[in-house]
Structure 1
Amino acid sequence: MSNVFDGYERQYCELSANLTKKCTAATALNGEQKKQKVSEVKAGLDEAEALIRKMDLEARSLQPNIRAVLLAKLREYKSDLNNLKNEVKKIVSGNINPSARDELLESGMADALTASADQKTRLMTSTDRLNKTSDRVKDSRRTMLETEELGVSILHDLHSQRQSLLHAHNTLHGVDDNIGKSKKILTNISRRMNRNKWIISSIVLALVVAIALILYFKLSK
């Protein structure tokens, strides 16, 4: 769903299991050792709260369908964190009789085991999800490479077609120039033919007039 959220979730699960173990150990301690252990737990609780805030911000930045699932998981982690805070308050208050302490130790060990099992399950689920995401990324990359190869092939074909069109354009341009030259030659030939026709007509007319004049003079004598 979100690699960032999964990273924060993994850190919180590990931290929660560690804090649960420290709380269990603190119940069996006294004096300065107990204070030191409680101090470590409180520091861990601050770190856990920071992780939950980061998960909350990340979840709210995602799509509605994904956000709803992540916020539901986040409510469980907030409840888990509240339980840890309550357990620390009980340890700090020091109002625990021996039987209650033994019961708390047993409960703490059970909680630690349960937390470890839950942590392992979440980690396995996260790993499986990451593997699926990796497979999807590989498929997407393979598709992208195939698309890129197809695009290169299409560009090569388009380049070849462009060269063919440019060659055809140059050929047509040459043909057009030849047609223009042929048109000029035919125009010149037509003009010469018309000029020659007028010359021949003038010569024929002159000959007819000359013949007529010759005949006239001969007949008149």
Structure 2
Amino acid sequence: MSQVFEGYERQYCELSANLSKKITSASLLDGERKKQKLSEVNGGLEDAEALIRKMDLEARSLPPSMKATLLAKLREYKTDLNNLKTEVKRITSANVNQAARDELLESGMADTRMVSSDQRGRLMMSTEKLDKSGERIRESRKTMLETEELGVSILHDLHQQRQSLLHAHNTLHGVDDNISRSKKILTNMSRRMSRNKWIIGTIITVLVISIILILYFKLTH
């Protein structure tokens, strides 16, 4: 297994355990202490997301035999992170509902003290603005996550193209080696043919000289 992936994995497991404890602690608090604890948890969730992205990139850069196992583990960590986020949303929602109830109680008290309708209108406008701001923040975060996923996909495609190019290069190198060997074989065959040609010529010359000598001795005797 990749040592880099294992390092990220250890960091994530420690961070996840720490976040789980903080979430449990935050659920038992209220007021400013609860807000402070949730702020720490949100910061930790961002760090956890960063580790997940690093593990994803590292897993996709490894050979297929290792990549499948690591991506399966990564899916479990993503599920764990989503569960932590869900728990934080539940606590935050409970906190917001409590704040809303407090605001309603305060509004009711203000009504009993004859607070003007103009003040109530401004309160409603402020609440609507806060809701719109929260929605814009959620949309921006969603866009950022989609962009990161696209980046991971592009890096994965580039890695596959690189592997294809390396395979093609190795294939061409093998073809070049085969051509070189074939050229050497043909050169050796040519040399052997030339050598055999000289040997056959020498044999024919010797035979011709032998025939001439035999004829000469027969004619002179």
Normalised to the residue count of structure 2, the TM-score between the two structures is 0.43
Larger Rg: 1
Normalised to the residue count of structure 1, the TM-score between the two structures is 0.43
